[in-house]
Each structure stands twice: as C-alpha cells, then as structure tokens.
Amino acid sequence: LVVAVLDLDGLRDANSRHGAEAGTEMLRQCADALVRSVRAVDDLARTWPDEFSVLLHATDARSATAWARRFEEALESSTTVHRGRPLSCAIGIADTMETPSLLEAAVRARKRMEVVQALRKQRRNRDPGA
C-alpha cells in the first residue's frame, strides 16, 4: 500500500484573484483527472482545501512514482490553462512498507510533498518565467 498526497498548485491565488468559482473549477478538473488515473481498488479523498490523498493498494513505491508521472502528464494535458500554464500539483509518496503505520506513511508523504513545493518555489524565485 502506498500513500500519495497531492497539493494543487495555485488554488489559493485563483480564489483570491478570480473568485471561488475559478478555484472550484480547478478542483473539479484535478479531481476528474485523479478519478481517471486511479483503479477501482484505490481510495481517493479530498483531505484539505487544496489537497487530495490517494491510497494505492497493491502498489510499491516504484509503481506509485510511475503512476504519479502519468497523473501529472494527464492533468497537464487535460486541463484548461491557469495563469498561462496547465494545472499542476506537488505530489509526495510513501510506501507503508517503509513505516510502522498507515498514519506514519501519510505524514511522510505529506512531508515529501512539502519538499517538492519548497523546491518549486525556490526555482520560481530564481527564474520567474519558469
């Protein structure tokens, strides 16, 4: 079992600049892409205002990483443009085989997602056009 935590990029900004309807549309597009990317056996939930969590059953970290790449590509190619770019999200993954509990795996996945966000923020600050 692998836990994936996803944070939708730019949702707060869209809500404040363009209103709640724009943010709701972003969430809907992300959720639609997620539903299309997971199997019937997997579990999907919205866990925070701009965050989703996925339980990928009978999956290891390597397969989950491949799923994450496919999901990100599908999200980018199937969504409308937001702030001049397609929708994107930061994803953190943790395998329950690495942790003593599901809760610990979820915490680890969230921390990994936060690292991805921090790295992206640093990159944007260095190269605002990226």
- pLDDT tens track for 29-84: 999 999 999 999 999 999 999 999 999 999 999 999 999 999 999 898 877 655 55
Binning pLDDT at 50, 70 and 90, where does residue 129 land?
A: low
Higher pLDDT, 15 or 64: 64
What confidence score (pLDDT) does residue 51 get? Answer: 95
Higher pLDDT, 106 or 87: 106
Q: Say which DSSP state 100 is in.
A: S
E strands along 57-88, which residues? 81-82, 85-86
| Span 88-103, pLDDT tens digits | 899 999 999 999 999 9
**Residue 126, CB-side half-sphere exposure with 13 Å CA sphere:** 6
Question: For residue 105, which of 31, 47, 55, 71 has the smallest C-alpha distance?
Answer: 55
Whole-structure pTM over 0.75, yes or no?
yes
Q: Contact, 37 vs 67, CB < 8 A?
A: yes
* 68 phi/psi in degrees, rounded to 5: -60, -45
Residues 34, 36: Cα–Cα separation, whole Å: 5
Can you give the C-alpha Rg of the chain in angstroms? Answer: 15
Higher pLDDT, 17 or 130: 17
Q: Taking CA 31 as the corner, what is the angle to CA 29 and CA 34, rounded to the nearest 5 degrees?
A: 110
